[in-house]
Structure formats: C-alpha cells, structure tokens
Amino acid sequence: MGSGSALDFAIAAADRALRSVFAPAQASRPAPAPPGAPPELSESERRAAAGLMRVNHTGELAAQALYHGQAFFARSERTRGLLMEAAQAESDHLAWCEQRLRELTARPSLLNPLWYAGSFAIGAAAALAGDRASLGFVAETERQVEGHLESHLRRLPTSDTRSRAILETMKAEEVAHGATAMQAGGVPLPGAVRELMRRTAAVMTGTAYWI
C-alpha cells in the first residue's frame, strides 16, 4: 500500500470509527420481524430484553471495530475485502439492535467508544500476526458470538418475538461468517488465545448489560 493510499485508508478508517460510534446505524436490509403486531411486554420483560439487546448492540459495534482493525492491517486485498464485506453485515446487525433498543425505550451502552477503541486495537493485533491467523480470529470470534446469541435466545422473555427474530437471523449469519473465514484460509487459534477472548468478552458483556 503506497503512502497516498495508506493515508486515504487511514482517513476512511477514522470516518468509519466516528460513524460507527456516534452516528445512527444504517441498515441495508429491513430488520427481521415476525408477522403481526409488536409484542406487548411487561415492565420486567422490557428491562430484561433491553439489557440483552444492549449487550448485543455493543457486541455488534465491537465486531465492526475488530473487522475494521483487521482490515486496516490485512496483508492482502483479498483478505481486506472479505473483512469489509463481513463488517457490512455486522453494520446491519448493529442497526437492527439499535432499532430494537429504541422500540424498548432503552439506550446503547455508554461505554461504546471504549469498546470500539479496544476492539479495533485487538483486531489490529490479530492482523499483524498474518492473514491466516487473522481469519482464524474471525472464525473464533464468530463461534463465541454464536454461543452468546444462543444464551440470549434462552434468556429472552418468551413473549419478545421481535428481539428473538433479530437474534436468530444474526446467529445464522455469524455462523456463515466464521465458515467463510476458515474456507478462506483461517487457522485455529491456540487455546490460551481463545480463553483470553472469552474473558475479554465476559467483561464487555457483563458491563454493557447495565451501563
């Protein structure tokens, strides 16, 4: 990448960061929704669903930041393109979660700028290990996200079919992202790295539920 193109990509990366954190998320597809009227939730059900959807919104913001950091330091245009395509799908997920939070009269996490910055740095570090390790990081991230979404589907109030439809679609697409990354040459990560990822995610999700 030449100095001019590197500067252009850095400016684009800064623009993506500002838009991801501070601008309303824009979806290229309508949010998944069951047929019929929106579900009626009790106040306790609304609070529970809002907490879970806040976590998912933060997770999707972090996923975008990971992909942006990985794409910035990717060694091949092919890998960079794959990462940015996945980031676009995560942008839809982010917008869907943001829309659902508004419907639940709830706000996103107040710490989202911190989560974005930290996730971008983690993604950059993964990319510096090489494209195959970076793609393996994508696959492991999506595998762990799949587990989080499955847990949230179990914890959602049964009457909240609106949030459930969103999470089920997100889960299917996260699985597809992970499979694509491995098919593109990703390698499995060491167990210590996988455990560190789990611990980091636990801090983020536990905090974002409340803050």
* pLDDT score recorded for residue 26: 78
Residue 104 inside a domain? The answer is: yes
10 Å Cβ neighbour count for 199?
A: 9
- State pLDDT tens for residues 23-75: 567 788 889 888 877 778 999 999 999 999 999 999 888 888 888 888 888 88
pLDDT score of 22 more than 80: no
Number of domains the chain contains: 1
Residues 6+ apart with CB under 8 A from 87: 63, 64, 67, 68, 71
Residue 17 inside a domain? The answer is: no
- Provide the H-helix boundaries in 73-105: 77-103
10 Å Cβ neighbour count for 84?
A: 15
Residue 20 inside a domain? The answer is: no
In the 8-state DSSP scheme, what is residue 158? T
Residues 6+ apart with CB under 8 A from 38: 103, 162
Residue 12 inside a domain? The answer is: no
Q: Which domain holds residue 144?
A: 46-208
* pLDDT score recorded for residue 14: 60
Residue 197 inside a domain? The answer is: yes
Residue 165 inside a domain? The answer is: yes
Cα–Cα distance measured from residue 120 to residue 96, given in angstroms and rounded to the nearest whole number: 21
Which pTM does this prediction carry?
A: 0.85
Question: What would the mean pLDDT of 92-115 be, rounded to a whole number?
Answer: 91
* pLDDT score recorded for residue 151: 92
Residue 139 inside a domain? The answer is: yes
CATH of the domain at 92: 1.20.1260.10
Residue 23's identity, in one-letter code, is: A
Residue 21 inside a domain? The answer is: no
pLDDT score of 3 more than 70: no
pLDDT score of 90 more than 90: no
- In the structure, what pLDDT confidence band is assigned to residue 155 with cuts at 50, 70 and 90? very high
